Amino acid sequence: MHSAMAIDTTSGEGFQRKQATSKRQQSTLNLVINDLKFFREIEKFKMTCKAVSDLEKAEISIEGFRSLLWNKAYTITKLFLDSDIPPRVRVNVPNYQVRIVLEAVQHGTVMHSLFHNCTISIIPILIPLWRKYRALRAMEAYMNKNLIQNTNAINSLKPRLNEPWDLSYASSTEDIRSQTLRFNLSSGIQLILPSSSGKIYQTISDHALK
């Protein structure tokens, strides 16, 4: 009796754990697009930091650039880490890392490594999905290539004229009657058309179908 109850309890706990894991995974996937946008903005921020650092090394006044850098960091945090629209944190970054970044921006401590830990958090999520994305694109390219090759193969089976078709040749019933369909073992089926100069030439043969 007790054993059966224990099994039922264990089974229920296992189901709850699976359900919680499923919800976390779904929540993670819902934020993946934001993760990618967040990563791109971080890269732009780091490039701006490097530019400001280079200006400082060149002994160029950077006061205006420091203000620009802070505004950039503040905008990123409002979009992804402290949004006015729920959910407040719109990326897959732990709350403790969010607090560290927000405090740094609030105190004006804006530097190249400001979002480093945030990047470390989202990279493991983005990499597997990026691989799947690249594999999907490669498969699409392969399928498109095969489609083009198959289309070319089908087009090659269509009858081809050895010389340009002149519609004036068949402008009258007499011209149509003068056309001849001929067959022999060496050349197969041949369509003989008269030209305006009276010259006879072959336009379509079964060789064009091979």
Q: Give the pLDDT score at 140.
A: 79
Residue 183 dihedral angles phi and psi, to the nearest 5°: -135, 135
Assign 182 to helix, strand or coil: strand
For β-strands 200-205 and 188-194, DSSP reports them as antiparallel
Q: Which amino acid is at 185?
A: L
Q: Give the pLDDT score at 183.
A: 60
Q: Give the pLDDT score at 204.
A: 46
Domain coordinates in residue numbering, the chain: 31-134, 167-209
pLDDT tens for the 210 residues of the chain, in order: 444 544 455 566 665 565 545 545 555 677 888 998 999 999 999 999 998 888 888 888 777 888 889 999 999 999 999 999 888 999 999 999 999 999 999 999 899 999 999 999 998 888 888 777 777 777 877 787 777 766 666 665 555 544 444 444 444 444 555 566 566 666 655 666 666 555 444 444 444 444
Name the token pair of 63: 């006061």
Q: Give the pLDDT score at 147.
A: 72
Say what the pTM is.
0.54
Q: How does pLDDT run across 56-115, given as a tens digit for each residue?
A: 888 887 778 888 899 999 999 999 999 998 889 999 999 999 999 999 999 998 999 999
Residue that the structure tokens 């402290």 belong to: 82
Cβ-Cβ contacts under 8 Å for 45 (sequence gap 6 or more)? 69, 72, 73, 76, 114, 115
